[in-house]
A and B are shown apart, each in its own frame.
Chain A
Amino acid sequence: MSEEVNFVSIVEENGERNTRRAFLAAAGAAGLCYTAALAYPIYRYLASPEEMALSATAVTEVLLKDAQKIPAGSVLMYKFGTRPALLIHHQDGRWISMTAVCTHLGCTVQYEAQADRIHCACHGGVYDPYTGANVSGPPPKPLTLYKVAVGDTGVQISLT
């Protein structure tokens, strides 16, 4: 008799434990759903500029109006997508364009006409102004060159 009572109480206890476990699991799942439903819009909201920038970096060519007028031995800074770039009109008449983002730590480089070099003021990196090759200093890689087409109304820059 007493064994039977014990058996019943064990079953009840197990049942209670099971419903408790099921309840906790359901509450946990609901909590996760709420967290996801709140976190997703907030993440997308905060990431909006990044996504806009991504669509801007998808740019493959840029038309610079009246850029053919810059004198020889000078430089024009412009934006290729979201990043700064150089358009150099060399003394010998050659037109060269490349990204202005240093391959070392991402500073914006500058063209120095007197020294005829591209110099990064942050850590002293030097690049070749014709090929973009890293000549001295810390830069590990050359600057990427763009294709330049000089027209009557402007200069067309495109990815090579």
Chain B
Amino acid sequence: MTQKSVASSVYEWVDERLGLSELVAFARHKTVPVHSQTFWYYWGGISLFLFLVQCFTGVLLLVYYRPGAEAYESVRQITFVMHFGWLIRSAHSWSANLMIFSIMVHMFSVFFMKAYRKPREFGWLSGMALLGLASVFGFSGYLLPMDELSYFATKVGLQIPVAIPFVGAAIANMLRGGPEVSEFTVQRFFALHVVVLPALFLPLLGFHLWLVQRHGNAAPPSVEALPPEQRKSMPFMPNFLRKDLAMWLISLNILALLASVFPWTLGKPFDSLAPAPAGIHPEWYFMSPFEMLKLLGFVFSGKYAEFGEIAGILLFSLGIMLWVLIPFYDTRKPTGQRARATHYFGLLAIFALLATTILGYWTIR
């Protein structure tokens, strides 16, 4: 038998059992719309790539990381003793930040293209859940080195649920594993970070990706309004996939550059008696909510302070609810026009995020 016929008989054997040719036929017919906003279609793929980098570098860190009382010492060892440990840790931290950024870009592009409308409501909801999980990933992972900054960031972050009436303190103690951030906290954050969150994230991600295959990419309303013969598209295989992979390569290069030129630092070991270091602030993706809560604290000061905190959390939850539920009140218009009100809501959200983030960094100095 020639090489070719061996290969084809192996393929036939597998195909008979797994139905590969159905997948191939599906992939061959899959197309991606081409229009002026096609660039934004790549950001979901970029987020996926960075997530894969997270998994890969995370497993490598797991080889030497020890949670609990030895957490700081093991991260110090990874950073300064193990060959290239600094690079792997730096790549993990940088890709985490880049992933949150690219998920945000992906989310806003979906928002403004109105890609959450029927039949893609579940895509939007699962995406929001993934973003929520990604931020919990970020929050829990930030504590794991147990240096000064991560200690105080977690201390402050876990104070926020305390403002919830009646159950707030109990929730905070449950998350901390006691009244103070300690090695018990790092141990349970570790379990959360490497077992619980991945177990929730992976099936949800599979669902999200399956939905994209099922419904395809949404075109913006202005394109959808065009007659079918004026709409352009490209085949997914190989045209879009090739460009997608090129974006992955660009992402890898940017990540490698950032991780090696700006290695992630490790602060002093945490000391539960030491005062908070000057200029302490949350990670950039938590800066905006942090600053909003702080601003509300200014508005409701003095004897209204407690009310202000609860009002802040309520207002915040309301804003997030409005954002998450958008597919249910901004439904498809028969004329294909975009609803101005939700468009402005999106612009307002971007403005509020940027303004409070800038304000947050401004007031540190």
Residues of A whose CB lies within 8 Å of any CB of B are: 34, 41-42, 44-48, 51-52
Contact across chains for B81 and A41 when beta carbons are under 8 A apart: no
- Closest-by-CB residue of B relative to A44 is B83
Interface size classification for chain B: 10 to 19
Interface centre among A34, A44, A45, A47 (most CB of B within 10 A): A45
Determine if B81 and A45 form an interchain contact, defined as CB atoms under 8 angstroms apart: no
Chain B residues, CB < 8 A from A48: 81-83, 85
Chain A positions within 8 Å of B85 at CB level? 45, 48
Residues on B with beta carbons closer than 8 Å to the beta carbon of A47: 83
Q: How does the 8 Å CB contact mask read for B61-98 relative to A, with 1 for contact and 0 for none?
A: 00100000000000000000111110110000000000
A-B contact pairs, 27 of them (CB 8 A): A34-B252, A41-B83, A41-B84, A41-B87, A41-B88, A42-B60, A42-B84, A42-B88, A44-B83, A44-B84, A45-B60, A45-B63, A45-B82, A45-B83, A45-B84, A45-B85, A45-B87, A45-B88, A46-B60, A46-B63, A47-B83, A48-B81, A48-B82, A48-B83, A48-B85, A51-B83, A52-B81
Q: Hey, which chain A residues are within 8 Å of B84, CB to CB?
A: 41-42, 44-45
Which chain B residues lie closer than 8 Å to A41 at the CB level?
83-84, 87-88
Which A residues lie within 8 Å of B87 (CB)? Answer: 41, 45
A52 to B77, CA, bound (A): 12
- Set of chain B residues within 8 Å of A34, measured between Cβ atoms: 252
Residues from chain B with Cβ under 8 Å of A45 in the complex: 60, 63, 82-85, 87-88
User: In the bound complex, what is the Cα–Cα distance between A47 and B83 (angstroms)?
Assistant: 8
- For the complex with contacts A42-B60, A44-B83, 17 further pairs of A-B residues with Cβ separation under 8 Å are A34-B252, A41-B83, A41-B87, A42-B88, A45-B63, A45-B83, A45-B84, A45-B87, A45-B88, A46-B63, A47-B83, A48-B81, A48-B82, A48-B83, A48-B85, A51-B83, A52-B81
Query: What are the 10 A-B residue pairs with the smallest beta carbon separation, nearest first?
Result: A41-B84, A44-B83, A48-B82, A45-B84, A48-B83, A44-B84, A45-B83, A41-B87, A45-B82, A45-B85
Chain B residues within an 8 Å CB radius of A46: 60, 63
| Residues of chain A with a CB closer than 8 A to B63's CB | 45-46
Q: Which residues of A contact B252 (CB under 8 A)?
A: 34
Smallest CB gap from B260: residue in A: A41
Closest to B77 in A: A48
Closest to A45 in B: B84
Chain B min CB distance to A79 (Å): 20
Q: How far is the CA of A152 from the CA of B236 in the complex (A)?
A: 81
Which residues from A are CB-within-8-Å of B82? 45, 48
CA A51 to CA B63, docked complex, whole Å: 16
Shortest beta-carbon distance from A155 to chain B in Å: 31
Residue of B81, B82, B252 contacting most chain A CB atoms (<10 Å): B82
Give the docked Cα–Cα distance between A48 and B74 (Å): 14
Q: Which of B63, B83, B88 has the most CB of A within 10 A?
A: B83
